[in-house]
A and B are shown apart, each in its own frame.
Chain A
């Protein structure tokens, strides 16, 4: 069961554990992590579950898929090279210890 650390805009962090195969967005929502809005419930329709993957782990998290890549141009907070939509990022044991930063705004 990989563990993920969400670093929140107010400087606090939330540690969450979820089964491999769970979408990062789902892990956040199931654990009440603030700032992951996920208006569309994980259907790559809304771009409100935007996160910044910690730069050191960006490579192991992988690049956004094509649709996600286009959608990231329209997030409420600025896009950065490590931006992902958390509904499209599947957790795996290889991502145990992943650190992601939650942006200021999602909508």
Chain B
């Protein structure tokens, strides 16, 4: 299968995006060498479950994307625990930590993002955790077996998911958010108020507009001092956003601006033999005004597929996959399809049960994004309609749902 001696594709990063590139290359018939450098020692794994359950050991974690045999059968050279430390675009080589240089014909940067550090004194105390990796999740899961007072710093998706995991373990949980809203960047105010109310109903204390000043304790964290209160804490988990791991590209002189800048085919704007995919890439998108960087499984997977197919020589369209996202926070299932802008007109609808909500976002009169709570069917209907760019206006949705519209349109297609 491998073309001996010739440089092939080198993928830097063993997350969802890197996996997607490598598996797509083989599925698309690429016969050259494929090497994936994965910094962590684990087989590439799913991240979404890490913040949604309290795992305590590897045995109850079945998060590997595929088993080890998958890579062997497809002649994918997966280098676990091996990191790329430098990139030389002129020589078309990468240097790995052990000092070796590896040549490439195509290079794909799938380096992901890293958590923003908590910028307050005491952030290095024992009992203070961030969550990104499998090992982080196991450490938090073990801590939750004894934790009584849990403070979650940051009211974003990961923080809110973990807040519910900790509640399910019986801990007292407080979420501290600096801005005046939960999920302020991702979610409309209309839906946010319902999410907050449901967390509070589940027993989570939510403090918005609250800054963390210092974490205190002797060796281990004992309390969190905020702008308004002193909160006892034996476990602190923070999630205050992520930054792209784009330093390899920057150090190599490639164009970088909060992410590796790529064109609509996800090629570096500086070097067509280098691509970037997933959390580390900033790319044009037909649903956004300017280049965007999206942190989601969908984006990582779909970008990997596009680049894998393109390098394998298959025809490739510009990247325009519909962005979609989900977050499970205890009994709250939040799903988003499309990209909402702050100026969009948002209409809230209650579903057939009061537990179900949908918020439809319109721009210039047309539906562009849908947020749903506990209503997966409406989410899927939104995806189908938005993916096909079926125009939907606010009056189309008077007295009905997207699900009903999608079913009616599908029935009409079948008849026609």
What count of chain A residues pass the 8 Å CB interface test?
A: 18
Among B63, B67, B326, point to the contact of A40 (Cβ < 8 A).
B326
The distance from the CB of B348 to the nearest CB of chain A, in whole angstroms, is 20
Neighbouring B residues of A39 by C-beta, 8 Å? 297-298, 301
Judged by a CB distance under 8 angstroms, whether A95 is at the interface is no
Which of B43-72 touch A at CB < 8 Å?
46, 48-49, 52, 62-67, 69-70
The distance from the CB of A84 to the nearest CB of chain B, in whole angstroms, is 15
Size band of the interface chain B makes with A? 20 to 34
Neighbouring A residues of B407 by C-beta, 8 Å? 73
Judged by a CB distance under 8 angstroms, whether A57 is at the interface is no
- Determine if A45 and B326 form an interchain contact, defined as CB atoms under 8 angstroms apart: yes
Among A30, A31, A43, point to the contact of B326 (Cβ < 8 A).
A43
Contact pattern, A 8-42, Cβ under 8 Å of B = 1, otherwise 0: 00000000000000000010011110000001110
- Determine if A71 and B377 form an interchain contact, defined as CB atoms under 8 angstroms apart: yes
- Determine if A32 and B377 form an interchain contact, defined as CB atoms under 8 angstroms apart: no
Which of B354-411 touch A at CB < 8 Å?
376-377, 379-381, 383-384, 403, 406-407
A32 and B69 contact, Cβ closer than 8 Å, known pairs A44-B376, A45-B376: yes
- Determine if A71 and B62 form an interchain contact, defined as CB atoms under 8 angstroms apart: no
How many angstroms between the C-alpha atoms of A30 and B45 in the bound complex? 11
Among B298, B326, B377, point to the contact of A70 (Cβ < 8 A).
B377
A41 and B49 contact, Cβ closer than 8 Å, known pairs A32-B66, A71-B376: yes
Judged by a CB distance under 8 angstroms, whether A100 is at the interface is no
Which of B62, B63, B335, B377 has the most chain A CB atoms closer than 10 A to its own CB? B377
- Determine if A32 and B70 form an interchain contact, defined as CB atoms under 8 angstroms apart: yes
Neighbouring A residues of B403 by C-beta, 8 Å? 70, 73-74
How many angstroms between the C-alpha atoms of A43 and B333 in the bound complex? 9
The distance from the CB of B323 to the nearest CB of chain A, in whole angstroms, is 13
Judged by a CB distance under 8 angstroms, whether A47 is at the interface is yes
Closest A residue to B380 by beta carbon equals: A74
The distance from the CB of B127 to the nearest CB of chain A, in whole angstroms, is 29
Among A31, A32, A41, A70, point to the contact of B48 (Cβ < 8 A).
A41
How many angstroms between the C-alpha atoms of A46 and B67 in the bound complex? 22
Contact pattern, A 54-92, Cβ under 8 Å of B = 1, otherwise 0: 000000000000010011011000000000000000000
- Determine if A40 and B69 form an interchain contact, defined as CB atoms under 8 angstroms apart: no
- Determine if B377 and A45 form an interchain contact, defined as CB atoms under 8 angstroms apart: no
The distance from the CB of B39 to the nearest CB of chain A, in whole angstroms, is 21
The distance from the CB of A106 to the nearest CB of chain B, in whole angstroms, is 12
The distance from the CB of A87 to the nearest CB of chain B, in whole angstroms, is 12
The distance from the CB of B382 to the nearest CB of chain A, in whole angstroms, is 10
The distance from the CB of A46 to the nearest CB of chain B, in whole angstroms, is 8
How many angstroms between the C-alpha atoms of A31 and B66 in the bound complex? 7
How many angstroms between the C-alpha atoms of A86 and B328 in the bound complex? 19
Neighbouring A residues of B333 by C-beta, 8 Å? 43, 45
Among B66, B328, B383, point to the contact of A43 (Cβ < 8 A).
B328
The distance from the CB of A33 to the nearest CB of chain B, in whole angstroms, is 10
Among A26, A30, A31, A73, point to the contact of B377 (Cβ < 8 A).
A73
For this complex, 11 residue pairs linking A to B, each with C-beta atoms less than 8 Å apart, are A30-B67, A32-B73, A40-B48, A43-B326, A45-B376, A45-B379, A71-B376, A71-B377, A73-B406, A73-B407, A74-B406
| Besides the known contacts A30-B66, A74-B403, 12 further A-B residue pairs in the complex with CB atoms under 8 A apart | A32-B66, A39-B301, A41-B48, A43-B328, A43-B333, A44-B376, A45-B328, A71-B376, A73-B406, A73-B407, A74-B380, A74-B406
**Which positions in A face B, CB cutoff 8 Å?**
26, 29-32, 39-41, 43-47, 67, 70-71, 73-74
